[in-house]
Structure 1
Amino acid sequence: MDVEDALGRAQLHAHRLCDEAMVKAQGLFAIWDTYNTAENPLRGPLSYSEASISINQMATSVLHETILILVASMDVRGRSTLEKTNRVSFPIVRELLSRPGVMGDVLARADIPIANKQAFDRYCSALDRLDVEQPNRLQRLRHFRDEYLAHHLDFPVGRTPPLMSDITTMLAELSNIAADLQNALYGQHVDWEHRRVQMRESALSLWSLVAKGSGWRGK
């Protein structure tokens, strides 16, 4: 794999991770969060409506899909070589960009090379921190993914289940990692806060429409 091939793959992976996967995860979690927040006046009426079973299943499903996206975005290539792996993840992108000459090519084209280099250093450091932290949030989420979502597994010794905070903090941190990756490759700033506001407003509109369809008019 030469420099051009490695950079091309890294850019394609970055698009799928930053513009697709993380955007989707943010939107899915907004659906779950706006329904389950204690400040949501619609939750009580919807929980006791005729649609409650389906609503709760949908809310659980979007949370599970969020977990799947978060864990998949941090999968490593395993036994496959970098040239042959078909996985798309932040660790794979780091491997691609760390090949000799690849980041040098990126920096040679950058308007402010030092900014791109600093963003790439933050990207790598963040991945390293997630890998070695104890207790390891990613490991808890991956165990849950493997045992209950990707497969139906039964272990003789129970694994430590993930915490709700594992999902919220990992979503925030992986979004920041995605932003650093975009900055490292293109010098672009990603305004996640603006996107979060849009997604939350859209999710609130969803639940409002569901409530109206159930006949609830509020106080």
Structure 2
Amino acid sequence: MARQPAHDPAEAVDRLRHSTRRIMNAVRWARAVNAVWRTFNRHEARQEIADSPASPAAHVYERTTLDAQIMMIARVFDTPGRPNILTQNRMSFPVCRTLMEQPGVMEFLLGQSEDWNELGAANRDRLTARHEAFIEVLTTLNNEEPNRVNLVRAFRDENIAHELRFDVLPQRPQYDHIHGLVDEASVLISHLVLIVEGATIRWQDGDVDGSVTWLWNAVADASRRSD
């Protein structure tokens, strides 16, 4: 099926900006949940908590934070759905790539980049480099084997989003696949925000790490006092 061109590049750019903001929210949440999961699993009192009355709740906590990462990562890497890229309900990196491929969109963004700051036309080279890096990361992810995105998406579809079956899949994503894709998504959204908004992202993950450590220290201390 032939690609449907955007009749007005500005319409595609508006959609691109909206999608970028939604993806940003999803990646921020994935990073926060990833920090929560990692900090819990590295906590020095993890086994002590597992042996305490908090064990059932800790198991739910661990599984829920892992599922949340899978949902967010699968979402931001979903491929376009309906034929018309401007009216579908999916907002993901592949969708943004397709929006940028619409006639006139990149030239529209390049023109706007001249007003970002005092660098003026020099911003065109900066945007072009980021666009090339964005496409390169997506292409590499699409071609890699084992394909982490496909494994995570299949697990999402089979175990979380649709059939809710709990039998073991023939091939499942590993923890490092999920964590790695959180990092890849962070790189991609940094490129995308620069391309679309001319902005730089400042991640603030330390607060989450400290909060989770405090939580499990408190649980471990309460368990010790109850013994």
CA offsets 1:39-71 (integer angstroms, 9 cap, x no match):
x22212211111210111111111111011001
Residue 208 of structure 1 corresponds to 217
Counterpart-to-counterpart distance in 1, 2:78 and 2:18 = 17
RMSD of equivalent CA atoms = 2.1
Counterpart-to-counterpart distance in 1, 2:181 and 2:15 = 25
- The partner residue of 2:200 within 189, 199, 218 is 189
Q: Residue 45 of structure 1 contacts residue 216 of structure 1 at CA under 8 Å; is this kept in 2?
A: no
Residue 94 of structure 2 corresponds to 91
1:81-120 → structure 2 map (5 Å cutoff): 81-110=84-113, 111=116, 112-120=123-131
Q: TM-score, normalised by structure 2?
A: 0.85
Q: Percent identity?
A: 28
Residue 14 of structure 1 corresponds to 20
1:107-186 → structure 2 map (5 Å cutoff): 107-110=110-113, 111=116, 112-152=123-163, 158-186=169-197
| Counterpart amino acid of residue 26 in structure 1 | R
C-alpha change, 1:209 and 1:174, in structure 2 (3 Å) is same
| Counterpart amino acid of residue 103 in structure 1 | M
Residue 51 of structure 1 corresponds to 54
Q: Structure 1: where are the runs of 5+ without partners?
A: none
C-alpha displacement of 1:79: 4.5
Q: Structure 2: where are the runs of 5+ without partners?
A: 1-5, 117-122
| Counterpart amino acid of residue 26 in structure 2 | A
C-alpha displacement of 1:133: 0.9
C-alpha change, 1:52 and 1:201, in structure 2 (3 Å) is same
Counterpart-to-counterpart distance in 1, 2:35 and 2:164 = 29
The alignment of Structure 1 onto Structure 2 pairs a total of residues equal to 211
Q: Residue 140 of structure 1 contacts residue 160 of structure 1 at CA under 8 Å; is this kept in 2?
A: yes
Task: Specify the SS of the correspondent of 1:116.
Answer: helix
Counterpart-to-counterpart distance in 1, 2:14 and 2:87 = 15
Task: Specify the SS of the correspondent of 2:224.
Answer: coil
Q: Answer with 20-29 or 98-107: which moved more.
A: 98-107
